[in-house]
Amino acid sequence: MSDHTVKEDQEALFAPEQFEVRNLQDEIRVDRLCSEFLKSFYLDLVEEGRTAEEASALAYGADYFLREFVIPDRQENIFALRPGRLRQFAGNWYIVRTLEPNLAELGDILSGTLAFYRYCRKVNLVDESLLADIEKDCADRDYYGERIEAFWAIENDGYLAWEQECSLKD
């Protein structure tokens, strides 16, 4: 993979159109396919000189974002995310779906997700604008920390105002 392309025998398997989710069967298939693609991502990280532990941590972060949020919750193609999708995840979904949301764990997920989309760009599966959107959203960690703190500070009927600031509604 040092030529920065997905192996020739995997090109059709990992073609972006293979990651479309229209129904439950697609969701199951795409989840499995995503898991296989994440293995390619992991191997590329190791080939670039990351330790197995570093590569695993990054792959796990991307895995969580993709296989817990993008595919089952948003039912979206991992190579064609809406602008701001990562912001919705980090600023809302992760916070309300995690027992004890914290910036350290979220930061690891964001780091893995960013590394994953850089890999996707390197192998020409996403365009520069998607990568730029991911980079911008990953860099806003102070905002996500503030969102976590604000979530813990919600009183009475304050949830709706908190949710509207970074809504999951499209």
pLDDT, one tens digit per residue, over 62-100 is 999 999 999 999 999 999 999 999 999 999 999 999 999
Alpha-carbon span 90 to 113, nearest angstrom = 11
Contact indicator for 8, 49 with CB cutoff of 8 Å: no
> What pLDDT does 7 receive?
55
- Model pTM above 0.75: yes
| Residue partners of 44: CB distance under 8 A and separation at least 6 | 1, 119, 122
- Looking at residue 97, its amino acid is R
Q: Are 94 and 137 in contact (CB under 8 A)?
A: no
Q: Report the SS3 class of residue 24.
A: helix
